[in-house]
Amino acid sequence: MAGKQVVFHIGGWSSCGFYNKAASVLASLSVLFPSRLRVVNHMYGSRDEYRSWLLGEDETNGFRDTFAGVSKANKQTSSPFSWIEADGSNNFVGGCDDTLDWCKSFVSPAGDSGKAKSKMQADGHTADHGYDYDLVVIGGGSGGLAASKEAARFGAKVAVLDFVKPSPAGSTWGLGGTCVNVGCIPKKLMHNAALIGEILTNDVQPYGFTAPEQTEGHKWESMRESVQNHIRGLNFNYRVTLREKNVTYLNKLGKFIDAHTLELTDKKGKVSQLTSSRFIVATGGRPTTLDCEGGEHAITSDDIFSLEKSPGKTLCVGASYISLECAGFLAGLGLDTTIAVRSILLRGFDREIADKIGAHMEDHGVKFKNGVVPSKLEKASDGKITVTFSDGSSDVYDTVLTAIGRRADTEKLGVDAVGVKTNPKNGKIVCTDEQTSVSNIYAIGDVMEGCPELTPVAIQAGKMLSRRLFDGSDEPMDYQNICTTVFTPLEYGVVGMSEEDAKAASGCGSKIEVYHSNFTPLEWSLSEHRQKHPAFCKVIVSKDDDRVLGMHYLGPHAGEVTQGFGVSMKKGMTFDELTNTVGIHPTSAETFTDLTITKSSGESADSKGC
């Protein structure tokens, strides 16, 4: 462990065996490493004297209470009590076992602990701060709710603000944020509806069933009602859970007045204020609207899932995963669907995979207008929208859905006024370990610059931030090797690097090897309809150390398949370890353990046999 000297404090009473054991080890280390460690003993003559110091009179205002919001420290009654003094603040370590673990990490070759540590700066929080709350979370989405409940678990006094500003088309929703109301949840349910339709249309007869006759086709209204009822149930459950966890829920819009004060406005326009020692901004993002003449006639993903009637013939503008997912389920439900693509599909994802997804969608009824953007929208009295494109062509649609990106929902939050640094291009907040340029204001999720826009990322970051703020943790969020899935008709799961990124990172393609396979999942094997576009997987491997850099999967249940490899990727799995793993037969996931064909060999990637 290089760097400045660690000042380690340990308190206990003279005849306590646990105190003496831990103090003895610390003393030895301070003799061996005098420039790296200084130990300060707080030894008391009796157990009662020690408890009086630690707990205080009537178990109030003891030394442990100076560790504001650190639940484990605030509850400790035993000996020893250890902490590290650093930069004017005290960082709780724990009791005997915790102290010995710290000693082991101190002398380990990896350094302090072998793990990365948070770079967060002291934010001035104290137990007697005098504000209304220890923490106020602005935004009641998945990340904000997770952070608030985790902080409350450690004894913090917490409030959550959540106020949904209507979309330009007038759509609103309840507590839970984008994912629950207008994102992951309704998207996957409608995606599943499309998959069910495909099975009924193409797969039942080979399995001995008679395909049902559907004289009316899919009923959008029935599906919408079921989906929205499910969402309303989730909204209610979130409110109940907050109450159970002692988190105050405020359905109000917040705006910073200063670094510790918010101005609140409720739905009736009534204005009030609250104060807090700390804030977490978790407002997420909102869809970018169409910037052309008549762009106000287009809707976004904020609106599509709650439409009262079927969107009918639909134009999806954009080649993002949101656009492709929506176009996929709309076409799967039997609707005439077109995607306007300005440049390439799924920018930022693996190019080979993106091309396969595009080909599959086109063969399954989705139309593509490539190299164009809408230049004008005109809405007729019957509600039809005539779209003129940049190449001069035009067509008429019932619905135009814009999915060209998202912008952080910070415009009216007042963060700039209190000195929080943002990216002027997208409104996102610049952070180090979720801490903004104003030390007591933090940010998590889609609102944070450089953060993957994924619900589980916001949830995990929120939990880990609350542990650092109120439970003495110093472990930062790890944003590397995060699994994700694109729910296009042919689902795509990925963890790690794309082939292009791996080549760029290595400096040349010759330093990586790509193993790949086209295969037919067993459940598809009886259906002729499934044969043109097989499932596909590939693994990108470093030739230097055999480490797996990326795993990509196209096929059924992509999320379930990919999630299982997430831990292995976090642990630095090698290709040899992957292929020495015994697969589960017959499954699609086992294909990863059987890969032998490389791209460099030039051999066909088509699988043979079961």
pLDDT single digits (tens) 136-173: 999 999 999 999 999 999 999 999 999 999 999 999 99
Three-state DSSP at 336 gives coil
- Bridging pattern class, strands 6-13 and 81-86: antiparallel
The candidate with the shortest Cα–Cα distance to 520, out of 445, 394, 606, is 606
Q: Average the pLDDT over 185-206 and give the result.
A: 95
Of 183-192, 352-361, 471-480, the poorest mean pLDDT is in 471-480
- pLDDT (mean) for 358-371: 97
User: Which of 19-23, 27-31, 328-332, 486-490 is predicted with the least confidence, judged by mean pLDDT?
Assistant: 27-31
Measure the CA dihedral 274/279/284/289, to 10°.
Answer: 60
Specify the pLDDT at position 105.
80
Least confident of 48-57, 256-265, 300-309, 426-435: 48-57
Of the listed ranges 67-76, 101-110, 423-432, the one predicted with least confidence: 101-110
Q: Does 110 score more than 60 pLDDT?
A: no
Position 69 confidence tier, pLDDT thresholds 50, 70, 90: confident
Strand partners, 278: 135
The H-or-E segment that residue 535 falls in is strand 535-542
Cis peptide before 80 (omega within 30 of 0): yes
Strand order in the sheet with 81-86: 37-44, 6-13, 81-86, 89-94
pLDDT recorded at residue 3 = 53
What's the mean pLDDT when you consider all of the chain? Answer: 93
Q: What is the mean pLDDT of residues 583-595?
A: 96
What's the average model confidence in pLDDT over 574-601?
96
How many C-beta atoms lie closer than 10 Å to residue 221's C-beta? 12
Q: Is 533 a catalytic residue?
A: no
CB 171 within 8 Å of CB 182: yes
Give the pLDDT confidence score for residue 61 in this predicted structure: 84
> Residue 1 above 50 pLDDT?
no
Higher-pLDDT residue of 5, 421: 421
Q: pLDDT band for 2, please (50, 70, 90 cuts).
A: very low
Residue 261 reports pLDDT greater than 60: yes
For 151-188, b/e burial (b = at least 16 CB within 10 A) is bbbbbbbbbbbbbbeebbbebebbbbbbbbbbbbbbbe
Residue pLDDT, tens place only, 523-566: 999 999 898 899 999 999 999 999 999 999 999 999 999 999 99
DSSP 242: H
- 111 has a pLDDT exceeding 60: no
Strands 484-486 and 492-496, sheet pairing: antiparallel
- Tens digit of each residue's pLDDT (9 = 90 or more) over 497-528: 999 999 988 876 789 999 999 999 999 999 99
Residue 113 has pLDDT above 60, yes or no: no
**Percent composition of the chain: helix, strand, coil (DSSP 3-state, to 5):** 35, 25, 40
pTM given for the model: 0.83
pLDDT digits (tens, 9 = 90+) for 72-95: 888 899 999 999 987 777 889 999
Residue 214 has pLDDT above 70, yes or no: no
Mean pLDDT confidence for 451-474 = 96
Residue 557: per-residue pLDDT: 97
- Tokens linked to 380: 């007729």
Task: Please state, in angstroms and as integers, the Cα–Cα distance from residue 59 to each residue in 55, 56, 334, following that order.
Answer: 5, 5, 68
Averaged pLDDT, 308-327: 97
pLDDT at 60 over 80: no
Share of the chain above pLDDT 70, in %: 97
Dmax over Cα atoms in the chain, in whole Å? Answer: 90
> Predicted confidence band at 481 (pLDDT cuts at 50, 70, 90)?
very high
pLDDT, average across residues 221-249: 97
Model confidence at 112: pLDDT above 80: no
